[in-house]
């Protein structure tokens, strides 16, 4: 199980939100590069970077910070937040981002998603951001009530995707534990590999997630628990 520390960017700072709400923001660092180097030094094999401003605006707003992170660390970076056209994907790959995360555009434009996968393959991955069984878009502000999570995930598999990121937004930033039922649902009903995100609060949560490896869970993205000192990245890596 791959343990992936998260760096959420807002106004150039490293922050965490509560359930994705802009008003519930806590700043942990004003220097994302220092944070990225910390995760690299503690053994991270992949770092998850999200441009929160970009997710809300519909286009990346913290690319300078992303460039500095990529230049400062050798650890591969995956990036998401406001990526909604081919040009942005190409720009991110050019500056050294390893994998691009698609969210809103993946839901709203099937032709774009098909074309993106056909051209970029494993360099793009879709994040299924969910709440109450529905898919969310536009920085988690819009609920697609007519789009079932399993239906969407199954469609992704038909296109050719082999893995997805699954985030229960009601859990994100809450430190209340991951949505194991939701994760199991995608694993069981789609056969996709899943990277779990949202709510991880303890090493025990990681132990529970690891038990899903045989079913296809391949990774866990961890944010607030690391920043709040619930456990260290090194401790998490020992469990994985």
204 noted as active-site residue:
no
Helix, strand or coil, per DSSP, at residue 31: coil
- The pTM of this model reads 0.93
pLDDT at 144 over 80: no
pLDDT in tens, 37-67: 999 999 999 999 999 999 889 899 999 999 9
Percent of the chain whose predicted confidence (pLDDT) is above 70: 90
136 or 86: which leads in pLDDT: 86
What the chain holds in terms of domains, given with CATH numbers, is 2-239 (3.20.20.70)
CA 155: distance to chain centroid?
19
- Mean pLDDT of all residues in 28-33: 97
pLDDT in tens, 63-89: 999 999 999 999 999 999 999 999 999
pLDDT at 181 over 70: yes
Instruction: Locate 134 and state its tokens.
Output: 């529905």
Query: Token match 């990277």: residue?
Result: 195
Beta strands in 149-223, from DSSP E residues, in sequence order:
163-168, 193-197, 217-222
Query: Token match 């199980």: residue?
Result: 1
- Which of 8, 51, 168, 205 is the catalytic position? 8
109 noted as active-site residue:
no
In order of 100, 113, 136, 172, the CA distances from 94 in angstroms are 12, 20, 29, 30
Could you tell me the pLDDT band of residue 108, with boundaries at 50, 70 and 90? confident
CA distance 181 to 174: 17
pLDDT at 92 over 90: yes
> First and final CA of the chain: distance in angstroms?
5
- Mean pLDDT of all residues in 178-204: 94
Give 58-82 as a DSSP string: TS-S-HHHHHHHHHH--S-EEEESS
Q: Return left, alpha or beta for 96; rule: phi > 0 is left, psi -120 to 50 is alpha, else beta.
A: left
- Which of 51, 129, 168, 172 is the catalytic position? 129
Residues 6+ apart with CB under 8 A from 12: 30, 32, 62, 64, 65
- Mean pLDDT of all residues in 145-152: 76
- Mean pLDDT of all residues in 96-121: 94
CA 61: distance to chain centroid?
17
């Amino acid at each position: 199980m791959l343990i992936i520390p998260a760096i959420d960017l807002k106004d150039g700072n490293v922050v965490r939100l509560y359930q994705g709400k802009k008003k519930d923001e806590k700043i942990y660092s004003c220097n994302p590069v220092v944070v990225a180097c910390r995760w690299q030094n503690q053994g991270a094999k992949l770092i998850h970077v999200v441009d929160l401003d970009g997710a809300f605006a519909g286009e990346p707003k913290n690319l300078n910070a992303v460039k500095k992170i990529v230049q400062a660390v050798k650890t591969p970076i995956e990036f998401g937040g406001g990526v909604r056209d081919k040009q942005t994907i190409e720009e991110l790959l050019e500056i050294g981002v390893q994998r691009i995360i698609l969210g809103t555009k993946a839901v709203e434009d099937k032709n774009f998603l098909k074309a993106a996968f056909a051209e970029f393959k494993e360099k793009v991955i879709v994040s299924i951001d969910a709440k109450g069984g529905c898919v969310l878009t536009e920085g988690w502000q819009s609920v697609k009530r007519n789009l079932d999570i399993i239906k969407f995930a199954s469609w992704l598999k038909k296109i050719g995707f082999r893995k997805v990121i699954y985030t229960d937004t009601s859990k994100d930033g809450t430190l209340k534990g991951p949505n194991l039922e939701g994760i199991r649902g995608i694993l069981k009903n789609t056969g996709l590999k899943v990277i779990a995100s949202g709510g991880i609060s303890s090493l025990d949560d990681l132990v529970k997630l690891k038990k899903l490896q045989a079913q296809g869970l391949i990774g866990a993205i961890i944010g607030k628990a690391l920043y709040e000192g619930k456990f260290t990245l090194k401790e998490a890596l020992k469990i994985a």
